[in-house]
Structures are given as structure tokens and as C-alpha cells.
């Protein structure tokens, strides 16, 4: 096949960003530069269309396809640590549309809604890194954990969406109280089971005081399900609140154009609005 004369008009080089994980927690190696950065290419028209499909966005397929297309250095997008995702989304938008973004800020005092232009490249100036070795000690056992992956986060989002749909369905039907309670109990049990699974899958290994290291996934899941509530709460807080903590500052200050009140607002990284 002859060379396409339009090839020079294909994707242009993008930008390089530093990931909070520094490339750790990926099962497959990722291609970082000598300075520890990864290249993000601008989205094509086809890539942008991925964010127009609500179903594909909900199940995570849109993000996976766009990241596969625009960040070839990441072999398996589903295993991206959650703190890396925000940096990747900001990088995708900058590479595709530039650093300026129209944002809205609603005043909490007078409810006036201002539209302003914000330089989102500022978010990448002070990225907090994830500590390489994330451990917590409980009852003489050392637990090595990692942040949620994109795949785990997607599963949690789907579960929350299904529960929301279930609540709406129960409220809008004339079914008996007994049937409603049964459906709520089933939905709660499903979410509880998923929470156990998410937490267990975030544990890399458990080192016991007798030099035994547990890495078997089923053994770890069985332990998480059957451990006491105090232990479960400590591990969950460590994983959810510490390891999954947002590493990009998406907050900005604004003065209301109507009442001059000063307040802070956040930029939402939801792809449907962030790339809308």
C-alpha cells in the first residue's frame, strides 16, 4: 500500500505529564521518558465521539478506547491507578483543545452563575505523588495496598448507578412494602459484596509476623469478608481516603460579578462535562 499523502495531517505530538504513581502499580510496564513523564497525544475526531455515548462512558469502554488511542505508553488502561486518571484527563484536554477552559462558578450567597476562562495547565504544576510503598500495620501484620484502578472504579460507579435506578424504580411503582424491602435488601447486599471485593483487590500482599507472605487473591478476599469491623474500617479508610486521594488541585477561587462575594469552586473531571 502506498503512503497516505494525508499522513502528515494525522495526530500531532502532544504533551508530557508526570503521573502521581510515577509508573508504579501497573502490572504491565508503561513507557515513561527519562524524566518520568508520559506522552499524551491529542484526541482525534473519532476519539472525541467516544465521549458522546452514555452507555460506553458508564461501563468505562469510552475511556479505555480513548486512552489506548492517545496514550500508547499505557498498555492496559484498565489498570490505571485512580490518582493518575485525573492527570491523564487534564493532559488529554490540554493536548486536544489547549490549556484554556470555560468553567462556571455559582455564588453560594446570591446564586449568580458566572462563566470564566481558567488555565487548567495550572493543575499540573503541583501534582502530589503517591508514596511508592503504601503499608499499614494491623495486629502485627503489614498490609501492602494500592489505589483503586480504573477498572475497579468503573465497577463501583456501575453499582452505584444500578442502586440509584433501583431506588427510582421502587419510588415510582405501586409494589408492596414487603417487595420494596426485599429489593432494597438485595441491592444493599450486592453493593456490600462489591465493596469487600474492591478493598480486597486493592491489597497487594499481607506479611505476617512469622515471615509468611500472603498474596493469594482468594485468601485475601476471605480475610476481608470475615475480619472484624474495626479492622475493615481501618483498611478501607487507608485505601479509599489516603491512597485514592485526589492528587490534582481542581479548586479555584472566584469573586462573584454580582455581589462581589469571594468563594471557591471545583472543576468536575466527569468526561461528559470536562470534554463537553
Tell me: pLDDT of 58 over 80.
no
- The 8-class DSSP code of residue 81 comes to B
- Say whether both 160 and 88 belong to one domain: no
Domain membership of residue 80 (yes or no) is yes
**Burial class of residue 163 in the structure, from the number of CB atoms within 10 Å of its CB (0-12 exposed, 13-18 middle, 19+ buried):** middle
Tell me: pLDDT of 57 over 70.
no
Domain membership of residue 236 (yes or no) is yes
As a whole number, the mean pLDDT across the chain is: 88
What's the first-to-final CA gap in the chain, in angstroms?
A: 37
Q: Domain total for the chain?
A: 2
Q: How many residues does the chain have?
A: 276
Q: What is the mean pLDDT of residues 119-129?
A: 91
- The rounded distance, in Å, linking the Cα atoms of 130 and 244 is 9
- For residue 216, what pLDDT band results from cuts at 50, 70 and 90? very high
- Say whether both 107 and 144 belong to one domain: no
Collect all residues with Cβ–Cβ distance below 8 Å to 3 and sequence separation of at least 6: none
Dihedral, 81, 86, 87, 88 alpha carbons, nearest 10: 80
- Say whether both 16 and 104 belong to one domain: yes
Domain membership of residue 1 (yes or no) is no
- Say whether both 157 and 83 belong to one domain: no
- The 8-class DSSP code of residue 13 comes to P
Weakest mean pLDDT among 41-45, 47-51, 92-96: 47-51
- For residue 17, what pLDDT band results from cuts at 50, 70 and 90? very high
- Say whether both 199 and 259 belong to one domain: no
Domain that holds residue 148: 135-243
Weakest mean pLDDT among 14-18, 23-27, 47-51, 131-135: 131-135
**Distances from the Cα of 115 to the Cαs of 37, 69, 145, 250, in angstroms?**
33, 32, 41, 16
What cell was used for 8?
502528515
CB 142: neighbour CB atoms within 10 A? 14
- Say whether both 74 and 45 belong to one domain: yes
Domain membership of residue 67 (yes or no) is yes
For residues 50 and 264, the answer to whether their CB atoms sit within 8 Å is no
- The 8-class DSSP code of residue 75 comes to S
- Say whether both 264 and 177 belong to one domain: no
Amino acid at each position: 500500500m502506498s503512503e497516505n499523502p494525508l499522513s502528515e495531517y494525522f495526530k500531532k505530538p502532544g504533551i508530557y505529564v508526570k503521573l502521581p504513581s510515577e509508573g508504579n502499580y501497573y502490572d504491565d510496564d508503561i513507557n515513561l521518558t527519562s524524566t518520568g513523564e508520559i506522552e499524551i497525544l491529542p484526541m482525534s475526531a473519532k476519539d472525541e465521539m467516544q465521549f458522546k455515548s452514555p452507555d460506553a462512558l458508564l461501563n468505562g469502554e469510552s475511556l479505555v478506547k480513548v486512552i489506548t488511542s492517545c496514550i500508547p505508553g499505557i498498555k492496559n488502561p484498565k489498570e490505571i491507578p485512580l490518582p493518575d486518571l485525573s492527570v491523564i484527563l487534564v493532559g488529554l484536554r490540554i493536548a486536544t483543545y489547549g490549556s484554556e477552559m470555560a468553567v462556571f462558578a455559582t455564588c453560594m450567597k446570591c446564586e449568580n452563575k458566572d462563566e470564566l476562562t481558567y488555565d487548567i495547565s495550572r493543575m499540573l504544576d503541583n501534582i502530589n505523588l503517591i508514596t511508592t510503598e503504601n503499608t499499614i500495620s494491623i495486629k502485627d501484620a503489614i498490609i501492602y495496598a494500592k489505589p483503586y484502578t480504573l477498572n475497579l472504579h468503573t465497577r463501583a460507579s456501575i453499582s452505584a448507578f444500578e442502586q440509584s435506578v433501583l431506588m427510582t424504580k421502587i419510588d415510582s411503582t405501586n409494589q408492596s412494602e414487603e417487595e420494596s424491602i426485599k429489593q432494597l435488601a438485595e441491592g444493599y447486599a450486592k453493593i456490600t459484596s462489591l465493596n469487600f471485593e474492591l478493598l480486597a483487590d486493592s491489597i497487594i500482599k499481607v506479611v505476617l509476623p512469622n515471615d509468611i507472605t500472603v498474596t493469594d487473591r482468594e485468601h485475601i478476599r476471605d480475610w476481608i469478608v470475615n475480619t472484624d469491623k474495626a479492622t475493615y474500617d481501618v483498611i478501607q479508610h487507608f485505601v479509599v481516603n489516603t491512597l485514592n486521594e485526589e492528587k490534582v488541585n481542581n479548586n479555584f477561587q472566584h469573586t462573584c460579578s454580582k455581589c462581589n462575594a469571594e468563594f471557591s469552586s471545583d472543576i468536575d473531571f466527569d468526561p461528559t462535562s470536562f470534554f463537553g
